[in-house]
Amino acid sequence: MIMSDESAEKPVEQQQHQQDAADSSVHKEQKKEKFHKLHEQMDKLQAEKDELFAKLQRLSADYVNYQKRSAKQISESIAYEKEMIIKSLLPVLDNFEHTLSSVKNIEDIESVHKGVKIIYDQILSIFKSHGVEQLGSVGQKFDPSCHQAIMQETQAGKEDGIILKELQKGYRLGDKVLRAGRVVVNKKPADEKGLTEQQKTVEGDEDYSDEDRE
């Protein structure tokens, strides 16, 4: 029996249809798998984002707390330093009070001077313990960074710019000048000998000019 062309073509079409169906099923599975992977990646990225955001929130909260702690620590440190300075000056105040109460009965001025000197040295010692020192001046070269020239005087035999007197002491805290010392600075006089010889030279020139005229 001879099959018709239509009968021969049916199996081929059927096979093609089955192949197309199979390809479509594979393609759907691939798309489904790809979608599943993308969904996993999105979930992973979302989890990483949430973790980073949580870390950022913690860091922000820690920074705010750090600022509060720092401000509090600075305030407490300043208050503590003030307290220590005041406490260190209280004995000086006690000595002043003792001196004032006893000075009425003291006839010897030397005893009063000695008592005041003790208090003065005590204050200097307290200043030194806090890093404050007096600036030297008399006999030194004038330094505008730590001296303030109030006036000038002339002393023979002294270099120009040498400090002759100290009107008010200067003080330094570490490398910082708290107050410049107010001083009197030596001003060297003009060289009279040099001026005289210069005048002689001028006068000699004038005499020579007069002779030429004659």
> pLDDT digits over 54-98, tens only?
888 888 888 888 888 888 888 888 888 878 787 887 888 788 777
Alpha helices by DSSP H, listed for 103-191, are 109-129
Distance from the first to the final alpha carbon of the chain: 169
Task: Give the whole-angstrom CA distance, residue 30 versus residue 36.
Answer: 10
* The predicted structure's pLDDT at residue 14: 64
pLDDT tens string 155-186: 888 889 999 999 988 998 888 898 899 999 99
| pLDDT value for 149 | 94
- Whether the CB-CB separation of 170 and 204 falls below 8 Å is answered with no
Mention the CATH class of domain 133-189: mainly beta
User: 10 pLDDT exceeds 60?
Assistant: no
What is the domain partition of the chain in residue ranges?
77-130, 133-189
Which is it for the CA torsion 103, 109, 114, 119, positive or negative? positive
Distance CA 153, CA 39 (A): 93
Return the number of other C-beta atoms located less than 10 Å from residue 163's C-beta: 21
Q: What is the pLDDT of residues 97-133, one digit of tens each?
A: 777 777 766 677 787 778 888 888 888 888 888 888 8
| Sequence-separated (6 or more) residues with CB below 8 Å from residue 154 | 186, 187, 188, 189
Given this model, what pLDDT does residue 162 score?
92
Query: What mean pLDDT is predicted for residues 180-208?
Result: 60
